[in-house]
Amino acid sequence: MSIKLKELKKIITSPVILSLLIIFISFNFSIIYESSHFSGELNVLNNIVNKFGYKINNESMINFKKYYDSNLKKMNKITYKKASKVYNSASEFFNNHEDISNVYTKGDITFFNNLRVEEEYYYAAMNIDSVYKEVDPMQIAEGEIKQYNLRGEAAETVRSEYRNFNKRFNELVKNGENKNLFFMGPVYRMHSLLFHSLFKSFIFEIIILSVLITAYLVNYEFDNGTQVLAYSTKRGRNLIKDKFLVSIFSNLVVATIIIGTGLGVYFTTFDYKKLLKVPISSYFIGEFSKPYMSKWNMTFIQYLILGISLIYILTLIFTGIAFFMARCVKNSYIVFFIFAVVYASALVIPRFIPTNSNAVFIGEFTPFVLSMNSFIWFMEAGAFNTFKYYELITAFVWTSITSVASICCIKNFKKVDIY
Amino acid sequence: MRVVISEIKKIFNLKMVLLLIIINIVMYFLFIEFNVKYFPNGGPDGDIYRIMVQMQKDYGTQMDSKEFENFKSIYKEKVKEADKYIKEHEEFSEIGIENYNEFTKAEDTKMNDKDRKKFQKLSDGIFFDKGVDLFWELQARAQIIQQYQWSLFSIYEFPTTKQIARIKEIINNKSDTSVFNGVIFGNYNDLIFYVSMTILLSIIFMISPIFLKDNKRNITSLQYTTKRGRKLFKSKVVAGIIAAFIISTIQLICMFILYSHNNVGMFFNANINSSLTLRLSWYDLTFIQYIVITVVAVYLLVFVVTIMTMLISGLVHNYIALVGIQLPIVFLLFKVVLSNAVTRVVDIQFPKYSIPLWYVSMIVLITTLIFIRWRREKVTDIR
Amino acid sequence: MLSVNNVSKSYGKFVVLKDINLEFTNGIYGLLAPNGAGKTTLIKILATLLFPTQGEVLYEGKDIIKMDEDYRDVLGYLPQDFGYYKNYSPKKYLLYLAALKGVEQKIAKNKVPELLKIVGLEDVEDKKMKKFSGGMIQRVGIAQAMLNDPKILILDEPTAGLDPKERVRFRNLISELARDRIVILSTHIVSDLESVANEIILIKDGTIAYKDSIESICKILEDRVYETEVDFKDMERFRNQSFLLSERQGNGIMKVRFISNEEAMDTWNRVHPNLEDVFLYVYRDENMKGLDVHEY
């Protein structure tokens, strides 16, 4: 145990690792800070949810309308008093480009703006059914097939993939998962902020540190010339097992620090308290013309936890890959670049597979591709990633591959010559 | 200098060169291929490109007001063709579209749901499924006409006095009537951006180990007691710079060979300050002059980055630190420096002398630092 | 002539060398001292790797630091642990160093195989050095030190890793070279110096303890070194009474070599002191019992 602690100490006392960790955490904070200016406006939704709940049904909509109407009246009272004008809606008011700063107080303007936001939510909520009537998974499938120029059995696979998804889609609509309030996607892009910008940042930072830490530990004795001493001791070649386990442990700790600090600041900046149980397939989460539709019925918090778990699994997988590479290529400098090249190649090579065979899908089931699309994990995500168990299969298969490879590496280490 | 050559040979050892080539291949497919293989990229860019080529043939390097009238009349002719097409296809009249003008306005006209769906299908058919060139071409021509006419002053929301003065100058010179386009300009700028990213990455990769390698193995004790002695430090710096220039020159040559397939040579003499580019420069440069300037900028950047890499190489004690320290630097380099230092060298977005001044100060700084390092190396104890 | 004038070296408050004065002319000088005594520091100062905190080193009357490359041109240096490129063959490695040493390419191309032959590595001149044993690497080191036909040859632990046959070969080579060169050998392997060194320099506590020919140095212990046989049971007492230089087991009894100030006993055989005896004596622990010998 003390051996493992001493190996761990090598990491904790490395100024490079610590500095990078601090730089990365600061960088994550800056991502959040850059978007924090509308954290105040987000509270308009929180207020609505507070009053009427997040479920969109007849009852809540009627109450919402009543609330909105009374606010509109209030606004018109003020505008009539101060400018002898009345409006049909708050957006009409803002569309008139008037010089409003001398006529109305700051408080007035905030109130009008909040009303405008409430308006948007109301009309969007009323429109959900018609939006989803237009959503046809089979049409999406055809669009994807066309976009990627898929033919033959590949095209058929996509169609069957979406036929499966269609069942889920119908279930989604039936459950009313889409009819829930959430921060207005197209405006605030909260889903992209959290699951794209922030998660991607987490993942890259964790990968970089994992590769550095693993290569550092595994090749430490060789780099410092102490290999002939260390590997002829009682613990001897088993030391590589310690290094492997400590790498995994350190990388998981690093992942926890990065994710913990990042999400800590994120959820302190943006108030999600009332929205944790909103289904992730809510219409409002969507940011583009096609809504986000999850493969299973899950709430936001469940989705978040699932995403975090997947990041941890990816950490393990990449640690295994880094371990294997560090053992094969003894030079810690080259290991890093080879890892980067392998990563980039895994993203590029799928392009060269002919688009009429099913082989074109295999290239997507790698941790490299998986780590690039964190914002559509577990959701309908185009021709290549909408397979129901895409994420789970990739995670499971690659965890197995890297476990086996790592164990083989360790066994092999027992037999190699050490100079 | 034999010593410099043997140091260069040490930099270009086989394993590193092979890995370098692989890195370049991967960078090509990730970032660069798009800008050379798929140029011009479909519609509307493809149409704009073709029209620009025709314009260059017809009007030369500039399109004056008479030529512009000619261009507009061509447009009118094409609109008539479109009208004919619409009349020949019943689907248009079914939803109340009788001519091309109504077709372009259809997005904003009120229609019932059924008609809206029909229109969407029709529109998709024209632009995507069947791909009727005429309609793409009309869009492109309309865009060119619009851009030719709009005010350069509207490019910047709050233009500074200097920017306004320059814009006035450009209008007076009639540089803005230059037959040149954002599609072509943007394509080159994207290309040089990604290629310089690849160049800098390649150099950092190849040069980083230069000092660390020998320091770590205690070869310095032998090297510094030879006749050449500590002057070897200078030789290594020179070797590093030469190696960097070899690498970047080869990569730039490859880039221009690939770029030649984009067939934009006819625009080389066009002034880059065309109103069709939405990007203005402090100087009246032709496209080829601009290209030369960007290449010079790349070489200057290469010099700065090479010296910086060598400084770091001499400071760290192990390879992990070498990679770890350079990561944030490289990130900043690509995110902040590269996008502005190469493609916006002469852009009026920045004050006229700010970027050249930045180059000068960086070169001065980095040269001073390496000089200080050299002075220190002359008197350090080698324990 | 190489002269060291009042050279001191300290790192902050820690003084490694104090007021060293030495003169070297052609011949073999042995620098003898345990580790940490300042031997390697002195060597590195002579090799221009370290700079003295005080004092100067002159070659032919000129300061070696100011002479810069003119001094290093006549210097050949073999460090204690030197680095090499694993993927290089000794030929490539020596050619690389030859370039740094300013040896003309044409001359180097002939000299390198010659030197490799002298150190017995002609069979492996194109093999990669990562396959070499420690002794072979050491021999490459010796070869490189002679590339520029130096007038000053400084060798730090040159026979480390060499087997007895190679050591003999080395000793012969050095003797041959020392006829018109200054050769400074730093080592603890006394036998290397015994047969070849003209002068021995003993450094203790950062200063020169002795600098003289081997004969004169051995005279410190004249008439005080003995050999005798002792029973196992008497060993403990014996150790407390005299300064043991060596003990050897044989025929059921301990054969000991030792120093004593006392009147010789009948069973004691007086023997000539050798360099190793002096080394052990000079560098003994201060609280050694049974010793009260006047310093020379």
Interface of C with B (CB under 8 A): 44, 47-51, 68-69, 72-73, 75, 77, 79, 81-85, 87, 96-97, 99-102, 105, 144, 148
First to last CA, chain C: 28
Cβ atoms of B40 and B187 within 8 Å: the answer is: yes
CA–CA separation, B3 and C100 (whole Å): 6
Is C85 close to B219, i.e. CB distance below 8 A?
Answer: yes
| Token pair in block for residue C45 | 């100062």
Mean pLDDT over residues A273-288, rounded? Answer: 92
Task: State whether C143 and C241 are in the same domain.
Answer: no
Distance from CA of C227 to the nearest CA of B (A): 43
Task: State whether C22 and C143 are in the same domain.
Answer: yes
Nearest C-alpha in A relative to B129: A146
**Whether pLDDT at C62 is above 90:** yes
Residues in chain C: 296
Q: What angle do CA C167, C173, C174 make, to 5 degrees?
A: 90
Quickly state the pLDDT bin for B306 (edges 50, 70, 90).
very high
* Residue B100 CA to its chain's centroid (Å): 37
A contact test, residue of B38, B320, B329 with most A CBs within 10 A: B320
**Whether pLDDT at C292 is above 70:** no
Q: Let me know if residue C70 belongs to a domain.
A: yes
What is the pLDDT at residue B255?
A: 95
What is the pLDDT at residue C291?
A: 54
User: Final residue of a domain: which of C195, C217, C239?
Assistant: C217
What is the pLDDT at residue C163?
A: 87
Quickly state the pLDDT bin for B154 (edges 50, 70, 90).
confident
Task: State whether C50 and C178 are in the same domain.
Answer: yes
Task: State whether C144 and C226 are in the same domain.
Answer: no
CA–CA separation, A358 and A156 (whole Å): 9
Q: Which residues lie below 8 Å from residue C39, measured CB to CB, with a gap of 6+?
A: C31, C32, C33, C186, C203
* Other CB atoms within 10 Å distance of the CB of residue C290: 16
User: Final residue of a domain: which of C188, C217, C246?
Assistant: C217
- Weakest-pLDDT range from A402-416, B352-366, C133-147, C252-266: C252-266
pLDDT digits (tens, 9 = 90+) for B256-279: 999 999 888 889 999 899 888 888
**Whether pLDDT at C60 is above 70:** yes
Cβ atoms of C206 and C17 within 8 Å: the answer is: yes
* Other CB atoms within 10 Å distance of the CB of residue B216: 18
Contacting residues of A for B113, CB less than 8 Å apart: none
**Whether pLDDT at B8 is above 90:** yes
Ordered DSSP codes for B325-382: HHHHHHHHIIIIIIHHHTTTSSBTTS-TTHHHHHHHHHHHHHHHHHHHHHHHHHH---
| Token pair in block for residue A223 | 């780099």
Task: State whether C130 and C248 are in the same domain.
Answer: no
DSSP state of B128: I
Is B324 close to A17, i.e. CB distance below 8 A?
Answer: yes
CA–CA separation, A193 and A197 (whole Å): 5
Task: State whether C260 and C162 are in the same domain.
Answer: no
Mean pLDDT over residues C164-178, rounded? Answer: 86
Task: State whether C188 and C245 are in the same domain.
Answer: no
Give the domain range for residue C14: 2-217
Task: State whether C173 and C226 are in the same domain.
Answer: no
pLDDT digits (tens, 9 = 90+) for B61-117: 888 888 899 999 999 998 988 888 888 888 788 877 888 888 888 777 777 777 777
Helix ranges (H only) for A176-235 are 185-188, 190-191, 199-218, 220-224, 227-230
**Whether pLDDT at C288 is above 70:** no
| Token pair in block for residue A103 | 């006529």
What is the pLDDT at residue C295?
A: 44
Task: State whether C235 and C204 are in the same domain.
Answer: no
pLDDT digits (tens, 9 = 90+) for C74-124: 999 999 888 899 889 999 999 999 999 999 999 999 999 999 999 889 999
Mean pLDDT over residues A102-127, rounded? Answer: 88
Distances (CA, A) of C280 to A340, C257, C258, C274: 58, 12, 10, 10
CA–CA separation, C171 and C187 (whole Å): 13
Q: How many domains does chain C have?
A: 2
Task: State whether C94 and C207 are in the same domain.
Answer: yes
CATH of residue C60: 3.40.50.300
Nearest C-alpha in B relative to C50: B381
Q: Let me know if residue C296 belongs to a domain.
A: no
> Rounded to two decimals, what is the model's pTM?
0.89
What is the pLDDT at residue A325?
A: 95
Task: State whether C186 and C243 are in the same domain.
Answer: no
* Other CB atoms within 10 Å distance of the CB of residue C148: 23
| Token pair in block for residue A37 | 């200016």
| Maximum distance among all Cα pairs of chain B, rounded to whole angstroms | 93
Q: Let me know if residue C290 belongs to a domain.
A: no
Mean pLDDT over residues C259-279, rounded? Answer: 85
Mean pLDDT over residues B160-189, rounded? Answer: 89
User: Final residue of a domain: which of C182, C201, C217?
Assistant: C217
What is the pLDDT at residue A80?
A: 87
Cβ atoms of C161 and C134 within 8 Å: the answer is: yes
Contacting residues of C for B11, CB less than 8 Å apart: none
Q: Let me know if residue C189 belongs to a domain.
A: yes
**Whether pLDDT at A222 is above 60:** yes
Q: Let me know if residue C145 belongs to a domain.
A: yes
What is the pLDDT at residue A1?
A: 81
Task: State whether C10 and C96 are in the same domain.
Answer: yes
CA–CA separation, C84 and C78 (whole Å): 12
Cβ atoms of B313 and B210 within 8 Å: the answer is: yes
What is the pLDDT at residue B101?
A: 85
pLDDT digits (tens, 9 = 90+) for C190-218: 888 888 888 999 988 889 988 999 888 88
pLDDT digits (tens, 9 = 90+) for B116-152: 778 888 887 778 776 678 888 888 899 889 888 888 8
